[in-house]
Chains A and B, each alone.
Chain A
Amino acid sequence: MSETLFSRKNMKLLSDPLNNSNPITVQVLGICSALAVTAQLKPSVVMAVSVMAVLAFANVIISLLRNTIPNRIRIIVQLVVIASLVILVDQVLKAYVYDVSKQLSVFVGLIITNCIIMGRLEAFALGNRPWPSFLDGLGNAAGYGVILIIVGFVRELFGSGSIYGFQIIPDSWYIANGGFYENNGMMILPPMALITVGIIIWVQRSRNRKLIED
């Protein structure tokens, strides 16, 4: 009870998912959306923010309700909370960032099925107080978002020659304009996202020996 808001234990909830227990690279959850929306940086960022909003609020709501939820329907209650938050996010995106919501199309709706979210509700929010649950939600969504943004960055740079929609590779480099360079069309397709995630996992494990299983 006497624990402070930003105690070391609470901060660990935020930082752990970024590395040691990253939802994508260590727990291998939420891969589907990580492959699907990361062809460009902008949808990746919007997806990361959307998941963060949904996960943090769902964690808090479930944590507040945790002592009232009938055990037999707890999964249904969790799903109802997630689904309503996702629909809210979808409606807000459609109203305020219409072009991005068009790009993300069905993937916003599919946040509902993102295993990271239910996983955190079931494993953390049901047994913890709202504040740690909130931090846990933020941390896990950030861990997910960081990977999405890295993958989106790499794929957009090599696949379209731009970053966040701004052209980075000079026009004069392209073969079409007499240069030597061509965008790699493979980067736009989902398989390269999987390979990029694989490379991230490789780099992460070679730097963080704790993650290597015997």
Chain B
Amino acid sequence: MDRNSNTYTFIYAAVMVILVAAILASAAMSLRPRQTKNVEIEKKQNILASVNIASNVDDADEIYAEKIKNQYVINSKGETVEGEDAFEIDMKKEKAKPVEERLFPVFECQTESGLKYIFPMRGAGLWGPIWGFVSLNEDMNTIYGANFDHQGETPGLGAEISTSWFQEAFKGKHIFDSSGKLVSITITKPGQDAPEEHSVDGISGGTITSKGLEQMLLEDFNSYEEFLMKKKS
């Protein structure tokens, strides 16, 4: 057959595309369970990290099942919403909705020093989304631990938000001031005046990411405010 004829070219292209599609589709389907499992384990590791529990890929499932005693979903008024799985809530989708319709997952973790509440957060860094989990003590004021991650912040600069020195600084800080107003946590530059119990040092060269993180904390603590107030009283 003439290899340069139109018919040959068309048939060749069609057969090739169908074959390739079939191969790729079956590969994607057979690897899908492992991939979702990986994403799930990473999320569990991050949640555990926010209450200062180290885990690795192999034991994350087990530790999570043991430590995270309770998880539920609330709305912006702080009321529990039934019939939702907190672990499956995608913060990205929730953030796209108007505030009144958003759902917020809450995780409870029993530790030696009492019950901790874990709140997922999501915001914008310099190059892309940033997200994390912040845990509070039972007083709903003192930060017990924090874990942040990012999609594509600059290594050595903005990407430092996912390192331990930065996250350690959040421990023991207070999100409510003495008059009971929610002030969240400010991320400061050297020389900037801010009460120490409500602020942590920013990252040199990572100002925009730091500001994005500050904004994320403020916004998301605000969304949880009703719930925090209920638990406080």
Contacts and interface: CB of A to CB of B under 8 A. Distances in A.
Interface of A: 39, 68-73, 76-77, 80, 84, 87-88, 91-92, 94-96, 98, 105, 159, 185, 188-189
Nearest to B9: A70
A109 to B, nearest CB: 14
A161 B228 CA distance: 43
B3 interface: yes
Given A69-B12, A73-B13, A94-B38, A80 B31 contact: no
Nearest to B165: A176
B155 A188 contact: yes
Contact of A70 (B3, B38, B152): B3
27 contacts: A39-B155, A68-B3, A68-B12, A70-B8, A70-B12, A72-B4, A73-B12, A76-B13, A77-B12, A80-B16, A80-B20, A84-B23, A84-B24, A87-B27, A88-B23, A91-B28, A92-B31, A95-B34, A95-B35, A96-B34, A98-B35, A98-B39, A98-B42, A159-B156, A188-B155, A189-B155, A189-B156
Contacts of A105: 151-152
Nearest to B31: A95
B81 interface: no
B9 A72 contact: yes
A190 to B, nearest CB: 10
B17 A80 contact: yes
Given A77-B16, A105-B152, A70 B4 contact: yes
Interface of B: 3-4, 8-9, 12-13, 16-17, 20, 23-24, 27-28, 31, 34-35, 38-39, 42, 151-152, 155-156
B31 A94 contact: yes
A interface majority secondary structure: helix
Given A72-B9, A76-B13, A80-B20, A98 B27 contact: no
B3 A71 contact: yes
A91 B25 CA distance: 11
Contacts of B152: 105
B27 A88 contact: yes
A39 B155 CA distance: 9
A162 B181 CA distance: 45
Nearest to A88: B27
Contacts of A84: 20, 23-24
A207 B12 CA distance: 48
B3 A185 contact: no
Ranked 5 nearest A-B pairs via Cβ: A98-B38, A95-B34, A95-B31, A70-B9, A188-B156
B222 to A, nearest CB: 30
A54 B92 CA distance: 34
